[in-house]
């Protein structure tokens, strides 16, 4: 049973279908509950796996899901269609579009396909009213331009998942009314510049996540990440904003409810 004194947290982005976690799912969920993590959004990055991830959400009250095509996979799989994403979004536990975005660090050669895929996901977010979930790496100028242009045409909601980009992209996102999500990267000792970017943002626009099984925060860095560990990142966030852990958990959960309205408590 969870400790009733533990502040309730949300892991707004994880990948529970990945082998590192699915093989230990009962334990992962039990440890999350013990750590006070009351809700999790597990992300489908390959629409061929959407039925499996949908079933996870259907079978566990604490789980919700989002679906899209990861930018690093955009050139390897058939592009999603707006109609496909809109149809999937009708499920009551499907709460977001993505993750989508641009990644020029590893897959710059597929930039054009990534942009096309991103545009499809933006239109799906505009049509459904669900928040867009953005992955951005080494593509800040294109990302800022595409998001700004799309928002100017038809406004949409968005979270910059696992934000670790520049101050300029953070400012663009915040000016558009978007949210920044803190992952374990923000807790790394050498991430002071990133923490400064978060600290300069309105607390009302901050979410927390694990991106599990990746990017475990200290003291678990280098090991498999899991939703329970979002508490460590939240502790860093609370200190950063000069808040108690309870108030930080309460605020980031309220932020999550405001953005992910279908998963609101």
The token pair at 116 is 């096309």
User: According to the annotation, is 220 in a ligand binding site?
Assistant: no
User: According to the annotation, is 13 in a ligand binding site?
Assistant: yes
Instruction: Say how many CA atoms lie within 13 Å of 78 toward its Cβ.
Output: 6
Terminus-to-terminus CA distance in the chain, angstroms? 19
User: According to the annotation, is 211 in a ligand binding site?
Assistant: yes
Q: Is the peptide bond before 205 cis (omega within 30 degrees of 0)?
A: no
User: According to the annotation, is 15 in a ligand binding site?
Assistant: yes
| Torsion over CA: 227, 256, 61, 50 (sign) | negative
Angle value at C-alpha 140, between 139 and 142, nearest 5 degrees: 70
| Exposed/middle/buried for residue 176 (C-beta within 10 Å: 0-12, 13-18, 19+) | middle
Query: How many other CB atoms are there within 10 angstroms of residue 74's CB atom?
Result: 27
Distance CA(102)–CA(108), nearest Å, equals 9
Distance CA(209)–CA(260), nearest Å, equals 14
Of 29, 78, 89, give the one whose Cα is nearest residue 54: 89
User: According to the annotation, is 121 in a ligand binding site?
Assistant: no
DSSP symbol at 20? H
The answer to whether 217 touches 190, Cβ cutoff 8 Å, is no
The answer to whether 259 touches 17, Cβ cutoff 8 Å, is no
Q: Cite the annotated binding site for a divalent metal cation by residue number.
A: 13, 15, 99, 135, 161, 211
Q: Cite the annotated binding site by residue number.
A: 13, 15, 99, 135, 161, 211
């Amino acid at each position: 049973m969870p400790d009733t004194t533990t502040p309730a947290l949300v892991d707004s982005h994880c990948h529970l279908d990945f082998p590192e976690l699915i093989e230990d799912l009962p334990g992962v969920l039990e440890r999350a509950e013990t750590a006070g993590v009351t809700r999790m959004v597990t992300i489908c990055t390959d629409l061929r796996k959407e039925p499996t991830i949908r079933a996870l959400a259907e079978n566990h009250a604490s789980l919700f899901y989002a679906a899209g095509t990861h930018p690093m996979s955009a050139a390897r799989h058939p592009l999603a269609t707006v109609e496909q994403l809109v149809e999937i979004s009708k499920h009551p536990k499907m709460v977001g579009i993505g993750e989508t975005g641009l990644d020029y660090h590893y897959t710059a050669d597929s930039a054009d396909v990534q942009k096309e895929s991103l545009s499809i996901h933006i239109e799906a977010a505009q049509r459904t009213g669900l928040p867009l979930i953005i992955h951005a790496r080494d593509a800040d100028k294109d990302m800022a331009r595409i998001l700004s242009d799309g928002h100017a045409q038809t406004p949409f909601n968005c979270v910059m998942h696992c934000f670790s980009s520049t101050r300029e992209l953070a400012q663009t996102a915040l000016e558009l009314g978007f949210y920044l999500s803190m992952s374990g990267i923000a807790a790394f000792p050498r991430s002071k510049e990133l923490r400064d970017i978060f600290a300069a943002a309105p607390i009302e626009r901050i979410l927390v996540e694990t991106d599990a099984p990746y990017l475990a925060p200290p003291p678990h860095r280098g090991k498999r990440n899991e939703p329970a560990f979002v508490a460590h990142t939240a502790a860093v966030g609370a200190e950063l904003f000069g808040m108690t852990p309870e108030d930080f958990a309460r605020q980031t959960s309220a932020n999550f409810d405001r953005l992910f309205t279908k998963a609101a408590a």
